[in-house]
Amino acid sequence: MAHSNRRALIIVMSPITRDPRVLRQIHWLKSEGWAVDTVGPAGHHVPGVESHFGTNNPPRWTRSPFGSAVLYSLLPHGTKFRILLGNLIPAEVRRLISGNKYDLVLFNDHHFLPWLRDKRVFTSKVIEQGIHLDIHEYVRPRVPRDSLWRIFAAPYYDWIRTFIGDRRLSTRSTVASGISELYAKELGIPPMAIVRNAPAYVELAPSAVDPEAIELLYHGAATDVRGIPELLEAMETVSSRFRLTLILVGDERKIAEYMRTVDDKNLRVAFEDPVPVEQIATHINKYDVLVMFYPPLNRNLEFALPNKLFEALQARLALVMGESTMMTEIVREYSNGVISQGWSSADLAKSIESLTAEQVSTMKANSDRAARSISAESERTAFFSSIKKDHS
């Protein structure tokens, strides 16, 4: 049942038009009759949003080496926040929040949370109405102190992180149960609701598997920490019935480096250009197996539950992965992939080599079975459960 008189404010630090998770939140709220306003970088008004309030840029002096040193080493944390973010929020937004014009204020970025201390904006009535935090990843408790700038900045970012446990937040959600458990343990807060990054259901059938040419795929960030070097090494040893395609985004120098490795070693690896997010499932349906091999170098990799896993389900692909706790839960539930027993390239090669065409076909059929139950349509219910109960 639609609530036509409800109004939500979604606050985002990154460009909203490029954030599938936030776009889904907007879509879900609007589908229930909510009016939605957004706060985020200027120039990123999403169609259907009533008002987008663009944040300004921090003062230029804060981006100079001297200014940055003064900011982080001499000023109190609250003052830092006001200069870097608080003062960038348009006055109209403050007026609307303090005037209790929103039934829900939804923070999609913890960097904005110190704003909750402003009692002129976040009055007791606003807090009572409902403030939700959606955390997209695990924020490390300590900023790595690998440079002089980070040494000065780390205490500020540690301070911001404490607001994830702020009592003024009525509800919280995140992307995976492992991340929720870490926060609950560290901050002494109730477990967060889980809203997975699953895209919309796509009506597709698994493509046929050629026993002589089983098509492997990696698509995503061009970075060594996502297991690409191990995957390329594995391709040196697996039999000729396997071929790999890389669809990479990000660092052009890294992509060029991987291309040189493929050429130098004459690997059965092709490169393909990325497509828009909404076309991914249909585009990759022609492949057989998505490889996600993320050595647990940090907590986010350890508990990774990435968009591409859910896109692979919609594309009806089999999966090959390392022992990533959150991802393996899905493979064990649906029997739609194989889990490597170690993090070396040899372990990955062994897992790939173990696959037969018949097994891959069965796994793809099992991903087909999972596609409906793990989709934006199912996560929509989780989202409305995650915000205040009388908003669902």
How many other C-beta atoms are found inside a 10 Å radius of the C-beta of residue 119?
11
pLDDT band for position 134 (cuts 50, 70, 90): very high
List the CATH code of the domain at 214-374.
3.40.50.2000
pLDDT band for position 140 (cuts 50, 70, 90): confident
The predicted-structure confidence for 209-267, as pLDDT tens digits, reads as follows 999 999 999 999 999 999 999 999 999 999 999 999 999 999 999 999 999 999 999 99
Locate the domains of the chain by residue range: 7-198+377-391, 214-374
Specify the CATH number for 7-198+377-391; select among 3.50.50.100, 3.40.50.720, 3.40.50.2000, 3.30.200.20. 3.40.50.2000
Query: What mean pLDDT value characterizes the chain?
Result: 93
Report CA Rg, the chain: 23
The predicted-structure confidence for 347-381, as pLDDT tens digits, reads as follows 999 999 999 999 999 999 999 999 999 999 989 99
Same fold, 7-198+377-391 and 214-374: yes
In sequence order, which residues have a C-beta less than 8 Å from that of residue 330 and are 6 or more positions away? 309, 313, 336, 370, 374
Helices and strands per DSSP (H, E), number in the chain: 16, 13
Q: Mind giving me the DSSP string for 368-385?
A: HHHHHHSSHHHHHHHHHH
Per-residue pLDDT at 75: 93
Per-residue pLDDT at 148: 64
Q: Is 116 helix (H, G, I), strand (E, B) or coil?
A: helix
